[in-house]
Structure 1
Amino acid sequence: MSAINWNDGRLVNLKGGDTATCAGELNPGQLYALFFYNSAGNDANAPVSVVWSNSQPPVQVVVPGTTANQGLAALCFVSGDDTNTVSASLSSIASGVQVQAFIGSVKMPVNTSGIQNKPLPLDGQAHSFESFTRYYAVPASHWYQGYLRSDINQFISVQFKENSAVVNIVNQVTDPDNVVKYAGGSKDLVTINKIANQTLPWTLQGNGRQIVWINADSCQNSQTAEISLQSLAAVYDAFKLDAGKVEVGSR
């Protein structure tokens, strides 16, 4: 059994009896999600206890069993308005359990070792949205058009702003309640956006603050997943130019 310092939110490996603790690093006004992947490879469910309060019971998260490290993530949201400290403990009750975990938000993980942390170009082009990928962007104060695409059932990703998150589910087939959990009042800060189609379009109004997108699905399910975000400012500018034109001889 090990006690793991998790203050940087990095990708860690938990075995039965291990506890990872992020102490004093959650900020007020920010929403976080703990991402858990079952990495045991023996198809046994992994029971994780998320402790966020001394007066409230832990949140119980069951990370679905899988083989060949191909399972989707289980999530637990935590608000920095409720606590500045959170820990995750993997029970040793189940034989051979093992979980990979990291903390995601506009701030976390600070240590991105093991995570693909890269800017999302605002060019409207499709970019591969692989597993363990964290995209970030700082959209300017105008409208953007975004798309998520996947041909895999129940593809899940999370979009973070400072104090809110959207769980996007493409090709939704089941209710996500079994893999999305909440600590304290964090549920009021999370929107579940689910569609039955392969492509999920959305509009976004930037405000000069960072937005983050994190994949919450398996390596296998992410092989064909794509994300894109396009600035609509050029379209808006074209409208203004057209409106300002005066045809010769129109007077």
Structure 2
Amino acid sequence: MESIGVLATQTNWNGGQRLTLNAGDTATCTTLSPGQLYGIFIYNSAQNQTSATVNVNWSNSQPPCPITVPGTTANAGLASIGFVSGTDTQTVSVSIAPNSGLAQVDIWLGSVSMPINTAGLNNQALQANGELYPFSKYSRYYAVPPSKWISLTIASKITQFVSCQFREEKAVVYVINETSNGLLSGQITSIGPTAKTAGVVTILPTSLQSITNTLQGDGSQWVWMDADSAQDSQSASIALQSM
């Protein structure tokens, strides 16, 4: 009797678009740029308690980096983020092993320039007018502030709300209403020497329901992305104010 194999797919991921990977699937991006930091956003979308181990291959001389995304029901899980720098590699592949059963994840690339293909994401400009904008799951906000000081505020009434800010070669992970346990093990993974360098990826937690950070624009683009579940993002907001 013939064995039944997994029908694997190989996806061109040069647009950094949101897509779904099942067991045996691979997505490959070959257009990472030197001097830019990228976040691989990974949500478990199996709709059951099946955890998924995602392998990130970024170097021919280094073994792939495994990232385990805990199983969840009702699509209620948090994002795991793997940070990789275009200074270390032009190509990154994300895959799930063929023997992973019912494992399934949604992934996309985040940076100041990614994803190019924003289908499936809420991608919009963040106006520096002090207005509170909803910061829901799948949200991506971008702004090009002038050379002046600006104030960023992210607020959430939900415990441990996580979002990510990108600016060229650096990222800041904001954790609002942080618990005493901090981030989950494996939720944030730095891959490669540049991403592991001190100050490239900064985790900025607060025990309060909001965080305000003073930034200085210089005509370059900034990007903010939600990294939490739909239910945890219901009351979250983001605002940018010129000073």
TM-score (norm 2): 0.93
1:152-188: per-residue Cα shift (whole Å, max 9, x none)?
1111100000110001111111332421111112022
Are 1:26 and 2:32 matched, yes or no? yes
Please say if 1:88 is aligned against 2:88: no
- What is the aligned partner in structure 1 of residue 236 from structure 2? 225
User: What is the one-letter code of the residue matched to 1:198?
Assistant: Q
The residue that corresponds to 1:154 in the other structure is 160
- 1:70 is displaced (CA, Å) by 1.1
Match of 2:220 in 1: 209
Alignment of 1:40-59 (within 5 A): 40-59=46-65
Partner of 2:177: 171
Answer yes or no: is the 8 Å Cα contact 1:44–1:94 preserved in 2.
Answer: no
- Mapped to 1, the partners of 2:13 and 2:228 lie a distance apart of 22
Q: Alignment RMSD, CA only?
A: 0.9
Q: C-alpha separation between the residues in 1 aligned to 2:35 and 2:22?
A: 32
4+ residue runs of structure 1 moved beyond 4 angstroms?
none
TM-score computed with the length of structure 1 as normaliser: 0.90
Where do residues 66-145 of structure 1 align in structure 2 (5 Å cutoff)?
Answer: 66-145=72-151
Distance in structure 1 (CA, Å) of the matches to 2:19 and 2:221 = 25
**Unpaired segments of 5 or more residues in structure 2?**
1-7
Q: Secondary structure at the match of 1:221?
A: helix
Higher percent of residues as helix:
1
**Alignment deviations for residues 136-161 of structure 1 (CA, whole Å, 9 cap, x no partner):** 00011111111110111111100000
How many residue pairs match? The answer is 231
Q: Could you tell me how far apart the structure 1 residues matched to 2:155 and 2:131 are?
A: 12
The question of whether the paired residues in 2 share the 8 Å contact of 1:28 and 1:81 is answered with yes
